[in-house]
Structure formats: structure tokens, C-alpha cells
Amino acid sequence: MLNAERPSLALAPMDGITDAPMRALQGATGAFSYAVSEFIRVSIEVIPAKVFRREAPELEHGAMTPTGMPVQIQLLGGDPERMAKSAVIACKAGATAIDLNFGCPAPVVNRHDGGASLLRQPCRIREIVAAVRASVPHEIPVSAKLRLGWDSIDAIYENAAMAAEGGASWLTIHARTRVQGYTPPVYWQPIGRVRTALSIPVVANGDIWNIEDFRRCQDETECCHFMIGRSALANPALPFQIAAELGIGNCEAPARIDWIPLLQGLLQWNAFYADRAPVRPVMRLKQWLKLASSFGDFPHFDRVKESQSVEELFSRLAEAA
């Protein structure tokens, strides 16, 4: 997990994408310091242990992927008591770190008192963080994921201060507002100002698509902790490149991306988690390749997108190579 004394690179949670099979595959690279689970929503009921184990099977093995990457459990919700009780159950189920989501921009989440909607009520951020922090064992870190604000980038200063006052171990800040969603531009400089103002670590996140973006983000924030998500899948060489710049990890970036072994690796982990991964394998592969086509330089999606089976997809991919 995050160590304030050592640079780190985290795998961002992406709903429906960075599930247990994908976390296992990404953990095998050795580039990531830890991953954050897809958010587990705390609404009208406290989350039972079986849900945590279903959503994060790593909890049954020390909160680590089979490939050795720590996984932090992320909770999303607006009720301090239910969030705290759910965090306690998560810890009893095996969680070694808790993250609180105050950044999700999805309208359905925001309409139901979750994610970025809390950015409009800084005192509630403090209340939720404090409730979780007071309830879980002292050795369990509790972090918070924030955006710069709902509709103003200047909101981050109060929201970050409230999260820190509530007892957050570190903050991860996405460099956009909720109103922006995922549209440009990103604003990295406020993240640097928060890092300077607070005594806890700050993780920079948002629009690090290539190594040049990373260097600019590093220059503007002066952070030593970073989180990437879509870009790690769009450009599988990027985690290696960032890890090398940070002096972490133990693998060299590939000279070229060979998609077939990568996709085969995901299939193997899908099979490993077959009882927890109901999505058709060919759909998982096309999901990844569509992301790589939309946000990276994968050139063959039009050739493979109509594939009806794994075998057909690999055949078309081999023909295109």
C-alpha cells in the first residue's frame, strides 16, 4: 500500500473494467504499488462480508492479488454510520486498507448521495472520514478520493482540508471537477498546492496518457505518488515507463505491445475467477480493445469488433498484425 517515504503508482478503480481478473493481470507487471477496488456502494444497508468477498476475492488471500499486488477496498456512500459499519465488516473480511469515494461523477450515483455529490458539503466529508477512521483498527489506513470540486477547482482546498481533518491517511485527487466529468482540461497545479498545505501524502490522478504527461504532472504537482486507470489499459507500456521514472518496479517497458499475449493473460484470469466473472470472455477482450482504440493507438478495433468468439477475435487480430 502507499508508503509516504517511497514513490508509488496506483491502479485506479474503473467500474466494470478493473475487476479481480484485470487486477491480477496488472499486478503481474510489477509496475503498480497497489490497486483500488471498484467502488462498493453503501446505500440503505450495511454491506455484508459476502459482498466484499465477492467483489474483492483478494480479501481471502491477505488483500493481495494472486500476482502479489495489494488491493485497497473502496466504499461509496453518504451516511457516516453505515459507511463506518461497512468498513468494519470489510476489515473483518480481510481488508487491509479502506478508500472513501468522493469523486465518482456518475449522475445516478450523485443523485443518491454518493461520490462527487459530497464535494458540495465539505463538513460531511470530514464527518464520513472521521466516522470510518474511528471505527476501523488503527493500523488500517483510511484514504479519500476527491475531485477538485463540483463546479469550481477552488473547492479542493476546503474539501481536502476536511478530509485530512477527519483523519485521512492520504488523499487521491482527480484533477477535474464533477461538472467536467472526463472532458479536458485537467488542472494539476491545485493538487500541488494541496500537497504543500497538508501533512499527509497526496496522489495525483487525471489525464496521464503518456510519459510526457506524467512528467508535466510531476513538475506541476511535485507529487511522488500517482494513479492511472484508462491510460494503463490504452497504453500497456505506460505503467512500466512511469515505474522506471519513479524508481519502482522491476520490469522494463516492452519495445512494442503484443496484444495477443496480453489478451490471453486476461482470459486466463477470467477462467481463474470463473465463478465471479459472468461476462462473456469475448466481450471482455473487446471492451479492452475498444478502450485501447479510443484512448490509445490500437489500430485494429474495426477489424475485431464484430468477432463472435474468442477464437474468431484472435484469428482476426493475428491477420491484422
Catalytic amino acids?
104
Cβ–Cβ < 8 Å for 124, 83: no
> How far is the C-alpha of 58 from the C-alpha of 68, rounded, in Å?
10
**Residue 35 CB partners (closer than 8 Å, separation 6+):** 10, 11, 13, 18, 23, 26, 27, 65, 69, 70, 71, 72
Residue whose C-alpha cell reads 512528467 in the numeric block: 215
Find the Cα–Cα–Cα–Cα dihedral 230, 283, 270, 205, rounded to 10°. 10
Bridge partners, residue 64, by sequence = 70
Residue whose C-alpha cell reads 519495445 in the numeric block: 255
**Residue 151 CB partners (closer than 8 Å, separation 6+):** 177, 178, 179
The sign of the dihedral angle between the CA atoms of 31, 222, 2, 83 is negative
> How far is the C-alpha of 260 from the C-alpha of 256, rounded, in Å?
12
